[in-house]
Chain A
């Protein structure tokens, strides 16, 4: 640095001091090189032959043998889903030289619109073997051909066929069938011990998810020997025979399903109702014939791998097309709940079929007035007419006799407050409030006004449409609460019946049959008393209960949106006869084989829109020649004076 002799001397001294360090560093170099050299000698000369013997030994690996997923049929044997082959582009990292990766990724990117950067990222994110193909994307037949025509441009790129679900009914059944999709990271971690593989497909929603174990079958396992190039040396050994997935025959009748969709859609489109559901079920065994929830979504989009933006759009849609209105959400059951109040009071002996209770314009508790919906009352009524007119003051008084905890007991008997157990995921439980519930959640005792509200299915009560339907089914069949079910039979790959799914009884209601008969007659009175005037002239006997629940976000004038319910049962031979022109005799029987419910969210119609939906459905179901629809019921109007 400098020629100053003094400093020069210092540096020379420093250099002398450092001599041992040079020696030390030199020794380190020699040791390192010698060590590595010895290891090299060991590998190449001393033990070389044993390594070579090892290398020439083929590498045995176990590989899954996939099986075809089981199919789904409706109750008449119509196919609902197919496995169709789809082209999938994969990259085998071992066969793609590192240097050409950017070029090949760029070429793939041009064919598939996936950024080249993403492709490289996916290759690098792989943690497994070089011989484990990395799935990039599904490709069209066109793209598959382009790649197959010039494999030299695409080293390491494979295009394979893979079965993919094709739902033949599309949107019609999406809420029921659900869809299969690619296994996610967390799902794989959870399921890898059960024979799932990375990139496997599994049922993610609907019956595809519930019956995953049945439909999937069991993958086989084979042992393959690979040489050093990763090629199979000989035909693989089958270690475990694959067991094909089993198929399901549903209780759903796709024709009934289509009728339900048609009826619901007609009413909804007419006035622009956003959400609704229709369920039809056989009350004798809980077999669901139709379950429609609108709006729906196209499950084929999911089966083919939906884009994130499209998925996000579906999730953000205020009409919530991904949710099944029938089971995934809960609403106040409104007047349909009067079945519980009435039957409970009869069973507890608080009232008898002949007791008369005075109905009034309103009942006053302190400063609060609890109005009857017609603001007048009807004078003294028995249970038949009280239910028939849907008198609110009648049921206020009856619920006052029962008390909240007894009311809750009967609600639970009818299946409220607990998922019905239908074979679909994410069923809501509903809420049946009790004193204990209120103390626990709101830290308050029940007061009388709230009890009155509970007696007419308002206030804190919440139920799913399926719960309401199932309660009426138990009334219609004389007291057996069945678990609603969607699958009747489990079939093998050839369509032979392996197993019939028997009806499942949740409970026999703790209610005398005569009480239920009374309530069935009262349900028929709803129609004959012209409370649901638009159903009187039907040539078939329909009994049921309408309901209007106020629920949601208040509008600018402080009014709550209201939603319409109608739940009905039809006796076995439903045509009106000379002997029984009112149908009151027919409904005394316990032979009903059809219960139907319609629920429409935020209707704002002049009349109860749900009654029109059920009527139109029955018209289609029984093939009635005359069109009984009364469109004016569905006109926009202020329903607030016309509470059910």
Chain B
């Protein structure tokens, strides 16, 4: 199979086949799990379209468009030689920061909040793409320090790499996404083999800052959400509303669900097609459907880690660790929110949530992983 062949800057001692994609190394499982989750998401978009789902501009048709784009991004990034990523790591870092700055300045606000940039009438959340770019930069940084991963300077350096992006997301303000950035950092450090002692210290330090964050960083609506998470019944039509409704919606599914398109959630789950999509999965596909989604996530994340395991080089380990950390964190927070065990944040469920930026960036992340899997420096 002939692929688009891009030569990395450094050739040196590489073997003749080095750098060229070997499609037999393509991790098919990874792609299949991701695709399955995406299809479930589309199914939900189909049943969620209030009117004709096949009408141009409906959630479903837009979802199909995004899927097509995501497929192109996935194939292109898998076909491209990942070594280029390390060659151009600083431009990539600059792009990530520029996207966030752009969002801050021209982004659409929601009550003083700017998160989306409208492109051709489609709202696009650049911070989603920045997550993947951050994982690349972080992996590169850790790879350059692979000999001194246990040193505290590696920790400080990695923190400094993450800080500008995290800060820019925080001032949007988007607390949820900034926590995702932290999860990427944590995953990358852990899987690249960084010192456990310092990792523990970092996690404890962040936890110690929670009271400060409550005072300084959180806006009133965010506090309101956290309070309503603790006591959703206090204001059932107010901010506790989505929480309670989503639990009621999920519980109505029972073991086997109401069946596709039989859900009532669309009428009382305001963002049923986006952040609360898992509630709809639970309602229409029941416990079995929900369990399938959870299992697919477990397999997918494991498969992401597996790419790192098989390669053994620090860049791949760190990148796959970052992506796995991101996926695991988003899954826990999003599904936990729907099930009433996590506070409401605007974090999407990867692949399943209807949302272009989320899907495209996930496809980009997996594409890079595939590229890493196909161009390992040694064969298994």
Contact = CB atoms under 8 A, between A and B. Distances in A.
A100 to B, nearest CB: 9
A52 interface: yes
Interface in A222-271: 226, 228-230
Nearest to B121: A102
A350 to B, nearest CB: 66
A50 to B, nearest CB: 8
A29 B59 contact: no
A32 B333 CA distance: 10
Contacts of A52: 248, 251-252
Interface string B249-274: 01111110000000010011011011
Nearest to A13: B312
Contacts of B335: 36
B101 interface: no
B287 A44 contact: yes
Contacts of A25: 190-191, 305, 321, 324
Interface stretch (A117-125, A360-368, A369-377): A117-125
Interface string B278-304: 000010001100110011011001100
Interface stretch (A2-10, A300-308, A326-334, A585-593): A2-10
B138 interface: no
Nearest to B271: A98
A51 B251 contact: yes
A158 to B, nearest CB: 17
B109 A29 contact: no
B371 to A, nearest CB: 14
B328 interface: yes
Contact of A55 (B248, B331, B336, B377): B248
B93 interface: no
A579 interface: no
B26 interface: no
B339 A40 contact: yes
B307 to A, nearest CB: 12
A76 B126 CA distance: 68
Interface in B110-154: 110-113, 121, 123, 143, 146
Nearest to B288: A44
A11 interface: yes
A44 B315 contact: no
A4 B301 contact: no
B274 A45 contact: no
Interface string B69-92: 000000000000000000000000
A228 B241 CA distance: 11
Interface in A132-183: 132
B237 A59 contact: yes
Interface stretch (B13-21, B29-37, B162-170, B357-365): B13-21
Given A36-B339, A229-B268, A120 B191 contact: no
Contacts of A8: 377-378
Contact of A40 (B270, B291, B309): B291
Contact of B251 (A3, A21, A43, A117): A43
A112 interface: no
Contacts, number: 168
Range for the number of chain A residues in contact with chain B: 35 or more
A38 to B, nearest CB: 10
A11 B313 contact: yes
A11 B312 contact: yes
B302 A26 contact: yes
Contact of A2 (B13, B221, B282): B13
A128 B248 CA distance: 20
A516 to B, nearest CB: 62
Interface in B162-196: 190-191, 193
A121 B108 CA distance: 9
Interface in A197-229: 226, 228-229
B250 A40 contact: yes
B238 interface: yes
A13 to B, nearest CB: 9
A311 interface: no
Nearest to A4: B13
Interface of A: 1-4, 8, 11-12, 14-15, 17-18, 21-22, 25-26, 28-30, 32-33, 36-37, 39-41, 43-45, 47-48, 51-52, 54-55, 59, 61, 93-94, 97-99, 102, 117, 120-121, 124-125, 127-132, 226, 228-230
15 contacts: A21-B191, A21-B193, A25-B305, A25-B324, A43-B340, A44-B253, A48-B253, A55-B248, A59-B236, A59-B237, A94-B268, A99-B59, A124-B110, A125-B112, A228-B248
Given A25-B190, A51-B252, A131-B237, 9 more contacts: A4-B13, A11-B314, A25-B321, A29-B302, A39-B340, A41-B287, A102-B123, A121-B110, A129-B235
